[in-house]
Amino acid sequence: MIILVLSYLFVCFITLLLTKFFYELWWNPIRIQSALSSKGIAGPSYRFYYGNSDDMIRMRKESASRKNYVNWIGPQPQLIITELQLVKEILNNKDEYPKPEFKSFTKKIFGDGLLRARGEKWFRQRKLANHAFHGENLKGMIPAMIASVEMMLERWRQHEGKEIEVNKEFKILTSEIISRTAFGSSHLEGQHIFEMLSRLVLLLSINAYKVRIPGLEKIVKTKDEIESDKLEQDVRDSILKMIRKREEEANQEADKTKKISIDDIVDDSLTWTIFLLAIHTDWQEKARNEILQLFGQENPTSDYLSRLKIMTMIVNESQRLYTPIIALVREIHKGTRLGNLIAPSKMDILIPTLALHHDPEIWGEDVHLFKPERFAEGVAKATKNNIFAFCPFSLGPRNCVGMNFALTEIKIALLMILQRYRFTLSPTYVHSPVILLATCPQKGLPIILQPL
Ligand code: HEM
């Protein structure tokens, strides 16, 4: 009898144990997964007992050990290169590794300008652009930049002691600057154009990885393609109208479209620098001290801008952590030798700048921390003589032609803000960086402003 009872108890115990085991390792995860997925929260499926841990371990190992690997965008291979020697080889050789043809959305945003050109056309356009953004020409744009920042700071007076969302402010600022420097007009006049371009950028980011049968888009258009065609036409018409109004040459139109859309990158870059300074108030103080020593309350001049050492370190570190353009794309043709690889077919190469900027082998274990002091002795020292590990503006012959323009704009805005305000992050801030054309804060950047 006792044996029977004990056996019965043992069976009950085992059944209970098994039930608990299956409940915890199978039923409960499946229940959670389906409850979350019914609310639109998706993810890789639960695998019995191991979940996704194996995949995560494998991916971690791979990311630590592999420098180059292949991805598939639909049937199209994309070679990801992070080996610095190869990055250097690719970026230095614009003929062997040209930019690929722009896809339809990108074409609509950037038009037919320098960003896309190749060969002789690129050479001619690049020469003109180099000239436009250098020396006296760039100096000549500084008064327009200062006037635009002054206009912004005038608006900020109503927010003193309160919260202000600065990403929106910087969008207005950079479009004001580009309107003044490119058209001699005000942002308000071109506001509609900026809104249309923002919508185009959003459509681009939604459609970036959509796989379509080649040539089909010419016959059957998706809703987004129809909308983007219309936006492209409207942007062109509006710009032509503005140019005609000023009786300028209508053939400059494509160039201006391109400049406006690129200007989006500058405001996001400025936003992340303000974000980092709002958290790291010690660096905010250091930057302010440097500014007050060099300029006092005076407006900036070009000669003195280059003396802002702390500011340069901060801007570099901000661009390293929140790299605006997260990757560079090139093309490699069948038979081209890249390192020990001979390309088997035409394929895209992707250089993930963001990953290079976050590689602990180069930057150290504190790679994710904001430490502008890494740049105290310049980029070569910060990268242990691997300067291709830091390329927010790219490097080589096709680097950013607007780099000096962008950096001048960012430095002038930072300088004039720091001359007038202390700022901290608002408690309402939600950290959610997303990638549109550049990395931007999805929920904006609210800060609290305190006048000095
Ligand atoms: C913080 C702001 C900016 C960043 C981070 C940035 C970054 C870059 C990068 C990474 C490239 C290389 C793209 C590639 O190879 O695929 C590039 C190219 C270019 N950028 Fe910028 N850019 C900025 C602002 C600007 C501005 C303000 C302008 C003009 C007003 C400009 C004009 C160009 C042009 C025309 C090219 C193509 C150059 C060529 O292919 O020869 N950029 N930029």
Convert the pLDDT of each residue in 219-229 to its tens digit: 778 888 888 88
Residues 42 and 187 in one domain: no
Contacts of 3 (CB under 8 A, 6+ apart): none
Query: Which atom of ligand 1 lies closest to the CA of 319?
Result: 5
Two tokens, residue 4: 């029977």
**What's the pLDDT score for residue 35?**
77
What's the gap in Å between 260 CA and the centre of ligand 1?
12
233-246 average pLDDT score: 70
Confidence of residue 111 (pLDDT cuts 50, 70, 90): low
User: At residue 246, does pLDDT exceed 50?
Assistant: yes
Ligand 1, atom 16: nearest CA belongs to which residue?
A: 328
**What's the pLDDT score for residue 256?**
47
Asked which of 265-269, 307-311, 341-345 is least confident by mean pLDDT, the reply is 341-345
371-400 average pLDDT score: 96
3-class secondary-structure state, position 262: helix
What's the gap in Å between 258 CA and the centre of ligand 1?
10
pLDDT tens-place string over residues 179-208 = 777 666 666 666 777 777 777 777 777 777
CA separation for the pair 309, 375 (Å, rounded): 9
Residues 295 and 247 in one domain: yes
**What's the pLDDT score for residue 318?**
98
Residues 100 and 245 in one domain: yes
**What's the pLDDT score for residue 425?**
97
Domain termination residue (choose one: 65, 90, 109): 65
H/E element, 289: helix 281-295
Asked if residue 400 has its Cβ within 6 Å of ligand 1, the reply is: yes
Asked if residue 416 has its Cβ within 6 Å of ligand 1, the reply is: no
Residues 85 and 102 in one domain: yes
CA separation for the pair 260, 181 (Å, rounded): 11
What's the gap in Å between 97 CA and the centre of ligand 1?
18
Residues 60 and 73 in one domain: no
**What's the pLDDT score for residue 429?**
96
Query: Which atom of ligand 1 lies closest to the CA of 125?
Result: 41
Return the CATH number at 418. Answer: 1.10.630.10
Residues 44 and 125 in one domain: no
CA proximity to 176, closest of 161, 157, 205, 154: 154
Pairing state between β 337-338 and 341-342: antiparallel
Asked which of 31-35, 143-147, 268-272 is least confident by mean pLDDT, the reply is 31-35
295-307 average pLDDT score: 87
CA separation for the pair 201, 209 (Å, rounded): 14
Pairing state between β 439-441 and 433-435: antiparallel
Residues 210 and 169 in one domain: yes
3-class secondary-structure state, position 425: strand
Domain termination residue (choose one: 27, 47, 65): 65
Residues 246 and 159 in one domain: yes
Domain termination residue (choose one: 26, 47, 65): 65
Asked if residue 325 has its Cβ within 6 Å of ligand 1, the reply is: yes
Cβ(145)–Cβ(412) under 8 Å?
A: yes
Query: Which atom of ligand 1 lies closest to the CA of 353?
Result: 10
Residues 199 and 313 in one domain: yes
What's the gap in Å between 245 CA and the centre of ligand 1?
28
Residues 102 and 227 in one domain: yes
The total domain count for the chain is 2
User: At residue 253, does pLDDT exceed 50?
Assistant: no
**pTM as predicted:** 0.79
Residues 119 and 139 in one domain: yes
38 or 324, higher pLDDT = 324
**What's the pLDDT score for residue 1?**
75
284 or 216, higher pLDDT = 284
The alpha-helical segments, DSSP class H, found in 296-432 are: 302-305, 309-321, 353-357, 360-363, 378-382, 403-420
**What's the pLDDT score for residue 262?**
62
Burial of 238 (0-12, 13-18, 19+ CB in 10 A): middle
User: At residue 254, does pLDDT exceed 50?
Assistant: no
Asked if residue 114 has its Cβ within 6 Å of ligand 1, the reply is: yes
- Range of the structural domain that residue 7 is part of: 1-65
8-26 average pLDDT score: 88
Q: Mean pLDDT across the chain, nearest whole number?
A: 85
User: At residue 31, does pLDDT exceed 90?
Assistant: no
Asked which of 10-14, 231-235, 301-305, 372-376 is least confident by mean pLDDT, the reply is 231-235
Confidence of residue 60 (pLDDT cuts 50, 70, 90): low
147-165 average pLDDT score: 94
pLDDT tens-place string over residues 406-440 = 999 999 999 999 999 999 999 999 999 988 878 88
Give percent of the chain above pLDDT 90: 43
Three-class secondary structure assignment of 103-152? CHHHHHHHCCCCCCCCHHHHHHHHHHHHHHCCHHHHHHHHHHHHHHHHHH
Asked if residue 141 has its Cβ within 6 Å of ligand 1, the reply is: no
What's the gap in Å between 127 CA and the centre of ligand 1?
15
Residues 201 and 104 in one domain: yes
